[in-house]
Amino acid sequence: METIIYTEDSLAVPARLIRQGELIAFPTETVYGLGADATNEAAVNKVYQAKGRPSDNPLIVHIKEITDLDPFVDNLSEKAQSLMAKFWPGPLTLIFEIKKNSLPSVATGGLSTAAFRMPNNKMALALIEQAGVPIVGPSANTSGKPSPTTAQHVYHDLAGKIAGILDDGPTDIGLESTVVDMTTEIPVILRPGAVTVEALASVVGEVNLDQHLISENEAPKAPGMKYQHYSPNARVLLIDWQKNNWQDALDWSAKKGISCGILASREIIQSFKADVVGNYELSITQDVQTASQRLFAGLRELDGQKQPIAVIFAQTYPEEGAGLAYMNRLKKAANQEYFQRDD
């Protein structure tokens, strides 16, 4: 299959392909999604096949208007309506109980619930409108690898496996949406994102945070909950922001003869003279929001060096505010592993 890059001027073609049951990657403000007609079981199955994604991992349904929920969800709570009014369109996904058989079970991971989002991206909303159907949109990458934040990242992973990619340049946020379970009295954050705990609480009061790690044998209720996820081929080791033991890590890799790369702020990178294969600036200063936007691109670039990198040393931040989402993704990319000198 030839994978064609489309622009906004040719939007009618990918919209038609979605209606015909094909797969089209599309931009959002978070990451690029792999789009298919959410109501078409065969099309949704193609998503799992293209990504190599476990079929128990539910997908997020992307909509253009709140009324697009009507065929699937009854009786939206006041809290849900308040969150949608505040954050939609935007990087917030809400999980609801759905009407029986309103979506194919393959789209929901066999659950009685489904996740919905209204993306804050002009081209994404236009694609949904012109296709005339809700669109599932998991990250448009090989399952388990860093999520794509450019059309080129998508092409690298999925060329020949999907019909096309709608190109809108780099994404603005760079991390997937916040996922909130609205099926309980107190909303539960299942995946942190750009809409923070504090922002949610300011609208609906108390919210709970569930960051327990899903084992390979446990069915997740939302995407991105697996123990290891977003991982490059290289081993990722976290440098504790409190210990700040960068020099120990670089000395250790040199002594062991291990090729390494640095994923950190310019301030950190320029503070060391080390023999590294490559480095990638997450930000100029210690800016976690910029670091979040550049995290997946950095993992991908360091993983793609001509001279292979065995270990990526990565900067960490306190797990609060915007740092919560950043660390959620980075810790999974590193399989929760911090650098510890073993000699």
Residue 147 banded pLDDT, cuts 50, 70, 90? very high
- Which pLDDT does position 221 carry in this prediction? 78
Domain boundaries, the chain: 4-209, 235-333
pLDDT over 70 (residue 225): no
Would the annotation count 57 as a binding residue? yes
- Which pLDDT does position 53 carry in this prediction? 75
- Which pLDDT does position 154 carry in this prediction? 98
Q: Could you report the per-residue pLDDT of 231-278, keeping only the tens digit for each?
A: 899 999 999 999 999 999 999 999 999 999 999 999 999 988 778 899
Would the annotation count 329 as a binding residue? no
Average pLDDT in the chain:
94
What percent of the chain lies above the pLDDT cut of 90?
Answer: 86
Q: What are phi and psi of 254, to 5 degrees?
A: -65, -45
Would the annotation count 235 as a binding residue? no
β-partners of residue 39 are none
Would the annotation count 53 as a binding residue? yes
Would the annotation count 191 as a binding residue? yes
Would the annotation count 147 as a binding residue? yes
pLDDT over 90 (residue 229): no
Query: Who has greater pLDDT, 286 or 174?
Result: 174
Evaluated on CA atoms 31, 36, 41, 43, the torsion sign reads negative
**Domain 235-333: homologous superfamily in CATH:** Threonylcarbamoyl-AMP synthase, C-terminal domain (3.40.50.11030)
- Which pLDDT does position 343 carry in this prediction? 60
- Which pLDDT does position 228 carry in this prediction? 64
Average pLDDT of the segment spanning 311-333 = 96
Query: Who has greater pLDDT, 315 or 274?
Result: 315
Would the annotation count 300 as a binding residue? no
Do 299 and 156 meet the contact criterion of CB atoms below 8 Å apart?
Answer: no
Phi-psi region of 99 (alpha: psi -120 to 50; beta: other; left: phi over 0): beta
- Which pLDDT does position 220 carry in this prediction? 75
Query: Who has greater pLDDT, 343 or 118?
Result: 118
Residue 327 banded pLDDT, cuts 50, 70, 90? very high
**Domain 4-209: homologous superfamily in CATH:** DHBP synthase (3.90.870.10)
Query: Who has greater pLDDT, 215 or 176?
Result: 176
91 three-state secondary structure:
coil
- Which pLDDT does position 175 carry in this prediction? 97
Helical axes 78-87 vs 197-204, angle rounded to 10°: 130
- Which pLDDT does position 222 carry in this prediction? 76
211 three-state secondary structure:
coil
Query: Who has greater pLDDT, 219 or 160?
Result: 160
Q: Could you report the per-residue pLDDT of 277-304, keeping only the tens digit for each?
A: 999 999 998 899 999 999 999 999 999 9
Length of the chain: 343
- Which pLDDT does position 9 carry in this prediction? 94
Would the annotation count 177 as a binding residue? yes
**Residue 109, amino acid:** G
CB neighbourhood size of 342 (10 A): 6
- Which residues, 6 or more positions from 57, have their beta carbon under 8 angstroms from its beta carbon? 109, 138, 143, 220, 223, 226
Do 108 and 114 meet the contact criterion of CB atoms below 8 Å apart?
Answer: yes
Q: Could you report the per-residue pLDDT of 32-66, keeping only the tens digit for each?
A: 999 999 999 999 999 999 998 777 778 999 999 99
Q: Could you report the per-residue pLDDT of 90-110, keeping only the tens digit for each?
A: 999 999 999 999 999 999 989
Residue 216 banded pLDDT, cuts 50, 70, 90? low
- Which pLDDT does position 217 carry in this prediction? 65
Average pLDDT of the segment spanning 159-181 = 97
